[in-house]
């Protein structure tokens, strides 16, 4: 039986990943799930993020998805490994769950010249230490500085990210990380919500600092994965359809998502348990 590729995020941020994936792989079918009723995940404990993410994965599997992308760094950092290693063999070992951290880490080794990299993420992602650990496994010569940005996701979830009030919180976290390590030449937007703040962040950083967002990296990595795994690819439907689900109000999700995706969408309600 064929099914859609599932894309999961705590809220709207994963839409930035979905957009790039659909650009790269337009023939495939997708189901997007935003757990907006319980977003943000960024300040939540390991146990809570893990249990919410597992519920989301099970729900997407119940929709028939053979493959689920956790388009959320917080969920990738706190839940992915346990789901892959402990839960998947019990639920259905023929399905796959992938995250967004690995494709990002693989890419940065080739773009930093100073070998000093900054990570911007939610408190959950930063406290997990996942980025420094994964980067240093692949590139032991890179120095990693991390900064949590607890106010950035709420700005996006409340559609305040283009307002001038957002500048204060953008400058605050950028100044902190660049002051701690003046050799940083690459900053990673390690949260799928942050591309929505990208224009303002670019204004806040020196011109010699590169800003990396994950959408294209995750899309390229998924295309490569499907090419290398024909047994999964063959189970993915290819009618170019996309459905959207939210745990919050369908109307609110549809109107916000339409702003982020710059096109009208319809959304349906999902009940996670």
Any idea which residues carry the catalytic annotation? 72, 191
Burial class (CB in 10 A: 0-12, 13-18, 19+), 224: exposed
213 touches ligand DGL (CB under 6 A)? no
Residue with tokens 């300040």: 43
122 touches ligand DGL (CB under 6 A)? yes
153 touches ligand DGL (CB under 6 A)? yes
Can you say how many angstroms the Cα of residue 142 is from the centroid of all Cα atoms in its chain? 23
Q: How many chain residues are in contact with ligand DGL, going by CB under 6 A? A: 17
Residues 28-67 that bind ligand DGL (CB under 6 A): 39-42
Find residue 161's DSSP bridge partners. Answer: none
**236 vs 270, which CB is nearer to ligand DGL?**
270
Output the residue with the shortest Cβ distance to ligand DGL. 42
78 touches ligand DGL (CB under 6 A)? no
To ligand DGL, the closest distance from the beta carbon of 41 in angstroms equals: 4
The one among 191, 196, 236, 242 contacting ligand DGL by CB under 6 A: 191
To ligand DGL, the closest distance from the beta carbon of 124 in angstroms equals: 7
The one among 4, 36, 74, 146 contacting ligand DGL by CB under 6 A: 74
Distances from the Cα of 69 to the Cα of 20, 72, 135, 168, 259, angstroms:
13, 9, 20, 32, 22
17 touches ligand DGL (CB under 6 A)? no
User: Residue 138: enclosing H or E segment and its boundaries?
Assistant: helix 130-138
Window contacting ligand DGL (CB under 6 A); options: 6-14, 141-149, 169-177, 198-206: 6-14
Secondary structure of 11-68 in HEC code, one letter for each residue: CCCHHHHHHHHHHHCCCCCEEEEECHHHCCCCCCCHHHHHHHHHHHHHHHHHCCCCEE
Q: Quick one: which of 2, 30, 53, 11 has its CA closest to 219?
A: 30
Residues of this chain that bind ligand DGL (CB under 6 A)? 9-11, 13, 39-42, 72-74, 122, 125, 153, 191-193
């Amino acid at each position: 039986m064929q099914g859609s590729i599932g894309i999961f995020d705590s809220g709207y941020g994963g839409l930035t990943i979905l957009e790039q994936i659909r650009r790269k792989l337009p023939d495939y079918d997708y189901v997007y799930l935003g757990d907006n009723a319980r977003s943000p995940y960024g300040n939540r404990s390991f146990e809570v993020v893990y249990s919410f993410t597992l519920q989301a994965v099970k729900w997407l599997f119940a929709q028939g998805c053979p493959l689920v992308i956790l388009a959320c760094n917080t969920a990738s950092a706190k839940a992915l490994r346990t789901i892959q290693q402990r839960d998947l063999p019990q639920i259905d070992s023929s399905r796959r769950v992938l995250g967004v951290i690995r494709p990002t880490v693989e890419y940065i080794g080739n773009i930093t010249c100073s070998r000093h990299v900054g990570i911007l993420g939610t408190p959950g992602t930063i406290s997990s230490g996942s980025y420094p650990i994964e980067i240093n496994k692949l590139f032991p010569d890179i120095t990693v500085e991390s900064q949590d940005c607890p106010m950035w996701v709420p700005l996006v979830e409340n559609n305040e990210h283009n307002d001038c009030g957002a500048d204060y919180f953008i400058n605050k976290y950028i100044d902190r990380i660049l002051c701690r390590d003046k050799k940083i030449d690459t900053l990673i937007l390690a949260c799928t919500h942050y591309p929505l703040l990208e224009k303002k962040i670019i204004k806040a950083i020196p011109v010699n600092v590169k800003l990396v967002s994950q959408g294209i990296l995750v899309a390229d990595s998924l295309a490569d994965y499907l090419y290398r795994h024909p047994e999964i690819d063959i189970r993915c439907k290819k009618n170019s359809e996309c459905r959207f689900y939210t745990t919050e109000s369908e109307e609110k999700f549809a109107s916000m998502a339409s702003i982020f995706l710059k096109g009208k969408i319809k959304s349906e309600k999902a009940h996670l348990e």
